[in-house]
Structure 1
Amino acid sequence: MQTKFITALVIGLLLIGSSSARGPWRASESNTRGWQLMSPEERIEHQAKIRSFTKLEDCRSYQVSHHQLMEERAQQRGLAMAGGGHDICDHLKTEKPKP
């Protein structure tokens, strides 16, 4: 009985995880530069801010300032920041017309 419950719970969690991947962008440790340097409140604000952008230029401006802030925090703590990763403004790029 308990094994069935645990199995159902695991399956449910996997389904929730896969469906949320198709939903709105979610900030996480794997896609947010400086995640470990942010408070839980800052993480929520960051995610809401990214979701609110409608213009690529505004998103880029925020992205640059966020990265600078995270770099400063990392230097203060003697940490190295990982580069690269997901482009948080990618969803705002206009599609290029197909020839």
Structure 2
Amino acid sequence: MQTGCIRLLVIALLAGSAVPAWARGPWRASGANTSGWALMTPEERIAHQARVRSFTDYDACEAYRSQHHALMAERAQQQGVSLNHGARDFCAHLRPTGKD
């Protein structure tokens, strides 16, 4: 009987690890996916991540994203560094699909 329980536990653990990282939890900002990550203070990073997670409307999200990108581009220019342009479009999941 113990062998069956162990087998079920192993199967459950393997099935859980098959879930993609993005599906395991909320979006997490990082230097790899956020324009200007290195140009923000730790407090700004936390506030940015919370703000991004709060959006339910595409237009509001896109307005914030544009404003954030402009601010980070300005900071980058002032500091003489390049801005990471490989960031993910965090508003894309809110884009209207045309389905009602």
TM-score bin (small chain): 0.7 to 0.9
Structure with the larger RCO, 1 or 2 (CA within 8 Å, 6+ apart): 2
Alignment gaps of 5+ in structure 2 = 1-15
Structure 1 residues without counterparts, runs of 5 or longer: 1-14
Asked if 1:28 corresponds to 2:30, the answer is yes
Q: TM-score, length-normalised on structure 1? A: 0.72
In structure 1, distance between residues paired with 2:80 and 2:69:
16
Aligned equivalent of 1:59, options 55, 58, 61: 61
| 2:94 pairs with 1:92 | yes
Quote the residue 2:72 is aligned against.
Answer: 70
TM-score, normalised with respect to structure 2: 0.72
Please identify runs of 4+ aligned residues in structure 1 that moved more than 4 A. Answer: none
- Counterpart code for 2:77: Q
Identity %: 51
Q: C-alpha root-mean-square deviation of aligned residues, in Å?
A: 2.1
